[in-house]
Structures are given as C-alpha cells and as structure tokens.
Amino acid sequence: MAVRPPIRAYLENDTDPSALREDTPEAWRSFMGLLAPLGRLLFSVIFITSGLNHFIQLQALTAYAQASGVPDPRTAVLVSGGVLVVGGLCVLLGTFARLGAAMLAVFLVASAIMVHHFWKMDDPVQAQNNLIHFMKNLSMAGGALLIVYFGPGPFSLSRKKREAGLGGMKLGAPLR
C-alpha cells in the first residue's frame, strides 16, 4: 500500500475539511489555520462596505429600489443596509457567524429575485448585467450557506468564548 503525503491526503479528503493527519507538517497546519479568517475577511468586506453604502447613498439606492419595484423602498434599503453590516461583521469576527451568514444568504436570494430580475428586461445589455448580478448573488448565498454549515473556523471570537469554557458547539464542526 502506497503512503500518501499528508498534504495530498488532506486535499483528497472530501469528507472532513478540518481533518489533518497526525503526520501533517506544522507549517501546513499553520497555513491551513489562516485560511478560515482570511476567507471570512474576503467574504465579509463586500457586505460591510455595501451595507455602509446603503446609508451613505440612501436617496440614490431608494430610487433604484423603487425603480426595481421593491415595496417600501426606503425602509427596504435601510433594513438591508443593517442586515449587510451586521451579517458581515458577524462573519468577519466569527461571533454569531452562522446567524450572520444566514442573514446574508436570505438577503442575497431576496435581492437577486426582487432587484436583479433580468427576465423582465427588454434591453439586452441591462438583462445581461442583471443576470450577472443575479448569479453572483446566488453564488455568494452558497458561500454563506457553507459558513452556516461549517461555522467560522479558527481565530474567531466564538472560538475564544468556547476556549474560555462558555460551552457550546465545537467550532468548525458541521451541523448534524
């Protein structure tokens, strides 16, 4: 039986993304530990900045939401801005990350359907642009659902709380 190198074994393991073999080099373990916080940062920054923009550009975004047929557009822009900032911060900091990611997933699917309705557009350029935004939102919702399932991973406020003995679910463990 051939022995697989630990890194290759990790890459081929699709049943438990947190599984590292005992003989995995420490440098690889350290590198892999940085991926979750880096991923949370890269994933959340667009939501935090976009959410803040909802408040900064309230009039313009309200007009856009109204033109898209969103009911009560001003309230929708304010609420969605809050959801984006709070959800993004939850994911970034890793505290209530599953809840924050779930909020983002709901927002992304709702905005894809309510704002980026490419199927209603006559102008092919507008339709193509909104199709791209629609698919981007669905893709990002998929990423958010992965955070809901797997949790925030290492270097998160949730992990620090658990390590302090406050109890709770094992961080990074899939929901079962």
* Residue-number span of the structural domain to which 139 is assigned: 25-163
**Is the residue at 114 inside a domain?**
yes
Question: How many structural domains are present in the chain?
Answer: 1
**Is the residue at 57 inside a domain?**
yes
**Is the residue at 175 inside a domain?**
no
**Is the residue at 17 inside a domain?**
no
Cβ burial, residue 163 (10 Å; 0-12/13-18/19+): exposed
**Is the residue at 1 inside a domain?**
no
**Helix/strand/coil for 95:** coil
Q: What is the mean pLDDT of residues 97-117?
A: 95
**Is the residue at 176 inside a domain?**
no
Spacing of C-alpha 37 from chain mean position: 12
* pLDDT tens track for 137-175: 999 999 999 999 989 988 888 766 665 654 444 545 555
Contact 115, 80 (CB under 8 A): no
Confidence of residue 10 (pLDDT cuts 50, 70, 90): low
Token look-up 């290492």 returns: 154
The predicted structure's pLDDT at residue 147: 95
Residue 23 has pLDDT above 90, yes or no: no
Q: Which helix (H) or strand (E) holds 58?
A: helix 58-67
**Is the residue at 102 inside a domain?**
yes
Q: What is the mean pLDDT of residues 110-136?
A: 94
Predicted TM-score (pTM) of this structure:
0.77
Residue 120 is given by DSSP the state: G
Q: How many residues does the chain have?
A: 176
**Is the residue at 3 inside a domain?**
no
Cβ burial, residue 175 (10 Å; 0-12/13-18/19+): exposed
